[in-house]
Amino acid sequence: MRAVFGIDVSKASSEVAILLNGEKVHGYTMPNDAIGLGRLLDDLKTVYNPEIVFEATGVYSRRLQAFLENNGYAYTRLNPLEAKKQLDSLRVRKTDKIDAEKLAQSQFVLNRKSTYAQEEVYQQLRDLSRFYQNLTEDIVRTKNRLHKVLQVTFPELENLLASQTGEQYWNLVMTFPCKDLVLELGQDVLENMVRDSTSKRISDKRVSELADKLTELADQSYCAVKKTSPIMEEVRYYAQELLRLTERRQIVLDEMVTLAQPLPEYEILLSIPGIAETTATSIIGELGDIRRFQSANQINAFIGIDLRHYESGNFLAKEHITKRGNPYARKILFKCIHNIASASHTNPCHIADFYEKRKRQSQTASTKPHTIASMHRLIRTIHYLITHNQLYDYNLAKSQ
């Protein structure tokens, strides 16, 4: 007897449909809590080798997935787009109850394989990777806000250092949010405040240079508000927030590296020129256990760089990537290609060679098509190296 549980997961509750040999025998609504999952466990124990099918609904399906793994049950987790394509032909009306039943019915026809259960470390790396990406987005947003308010108070301050980022710059911004706070100080006091604003040990000569440049920039500046304006506190707040976010992001990165280092794919990814620890840990976090993919083309589809092909009669549409996949992984690998190209000046890589060749052959100014093509080549390389447990070798890769 074949028992299939179709589960349609929502935010607070889920619809469960139980089918035996294709016939529905029971259905109910359960809350997504310990009580509801306990009832589901009782029903699972009444049948032998139950097949469980549900659609991935982001954070809402995580509890169900964890519950099944903790209790030793295999499951089939469907991509929402995949589920829609499979169920559209089976349903005329759409409700949560119908969706649960159709998920179970389709399993008797499609006989889907159980979802590959990854080790817990990959889920932890994925969660940390998302946290890292969110912190990066917060840093970019806060930098933009700091730039905006500095244009009102002391825009010339952005020319003080070579880069408008980093602990030293943000500390100086907090100390001198407007020109009046510079000009009202004597040289000795100004130099002492510059020295105190950085945690790094800098020479007296460098301190004197920074103080002189600060004075010069303050003389040039025209502040749009008075130094008692609340915008001064806003400047200090954004600078302090950037210090906090950057420190927190580094802690997250350190945690990712600690988790990823024991994995064999970590050293393999680092062996590819242009991939450093941040990129390596992020790739593992977003792609997970790469060995679960049977081919590089499956990874292409997973991150959404597989091509959309449309042909009708004599019309052939221009091919574009589908973008139906993991946008974080797509962004990481996109940037990775440019890192590999930059590193190729001192550390050659066959992917960089391919990228430069496509650029020379192209008639368009945009580098996006070459980057996408190079991403596919990088994915093939990563998949081969990890599945064969080999480090990257430029001479070997170039000859193939």
CATH of the domain at 39: 3.30.420.10
Rounded Cα distance between 305 and 317, Å, is 17
Give the per-residue pLDDT at 172: 93
195 lies in the same domain as 287: no
Give the per-residue pLDDT at 318: 56
Give the per-residue pLDDT at 77: 93
Which of 66, 82, 110 is a domain's end point? 110
Give the per-residue pLDDT at 314: 54
91 lies in the same domain as 177: no
Q: Is 118 part of any domain? A: no
Which of 257, 272, 298 is a domain's end point? 257
Which of 87, 110, 133 is a domain's end point? 110
Cα–Cα distances in angstroms (integers) from residue 172 to residues 147, 188, 235, in the given order: 14, 16, 11
pTM of the shown model: 0.85
84 lies in the same domain as 27: yes
Strands 3-9 and 13-20: antiparallel
Q: Is 117 part of any domain? A: no
9 lies in the same domain as 88: yes
Distance of CA 354 to the CA centre of its chain: 26
16 lies in the same domain as 96: yes
Q: Is 156 part of any domain? A: yes
Give the per-residue pLDDT at 313: 59
Q: Is 129 part of any domain? A: yes
CB 302 within 8 A of CB 294: no
Give the per-residue pLDDT at 208: 92
Q: Is 364 part of any domain? A: yes
CB-count exposure of residue 21 (10 Å: 0-12, 13-18, 19+): exposed
228 lies in the same domain as 283: no
Q: Is 251 part of any domain? A: yes
Domain range enclosing 44? 3-110
CB 99 within 8 A of CB 87: yes
Backbone angles phi, psi at 273, to 5 degrees: -55, 135
User: Cβ of 94: how many Cβ atoms within 10 Å?
Assistant: 10
340 lies in the same domain as 236: no
For residue range 194-226, what is the model confidence (pLDDT) as tens digits?
Answer: 888 876 778 889 999 999 999 999 999 998 998
103 lies in the same domain as 130: no
210 lies in the same domain as 269: no
Rounded Cα distance between 284 and 257, Å, is 10
Rounded Cα distance between 193 and 201, Å, is 14
| Bridge partners of residue 311, in order along the sequence | 316
Number of domains in the chain: 3
Residue with the two structure tokens 């368009």: 364
- Closest by CA to 216, choosing from 182, 188, 185, is 182
Residue type, 311: E
392 lies in the same domain as 267: yes
Tokens in use for 229? 């304006």
Give the per-residue pLDDT at 11: 92
Q: Is 116 part of any domain? A: no
Give the per-residue pLDDT at 311: 46
271 lies in the same domain as 217: no
**Going residue by residue through the chain (400 aa), what tens digit of pLDDT does each one get?**
899 999 999 999 999 999 999 999 999 999 999 999 999 999 999 999 999 999 998 899 999 999 999 999 999 999 887 777 777 665 556 788 899 999 999 999 999 999 988 899 999 999 999 999 999 999 999 999 999 999 999 999 999 998 888 999 999 999 999 999 998 989 999 999 988 887 677 888 999 999 999 999 999 999 899 888 999 999 999 999 999 999 999 999 999 999 999 999 999 999 999 999 999 999 999 999 999 999 999 999 899 887 654 445 554 445 577 778 889 999 999 999 999 999 999 999 999 999 998 888 877 777 788 888 899 999 999 999 999 999 999 988 887 6
Residue with the two structure tokens 């990228």: 355
Rounded Cα distance between 92 and 86, Å, is 13
273 lies in the same domain as 182: no
CB 53 within 8 A of CB 76: yes
For residue range 10-20, what is the model confidence (pLDDT) as tens digits?
Answer: 999 999 999 99
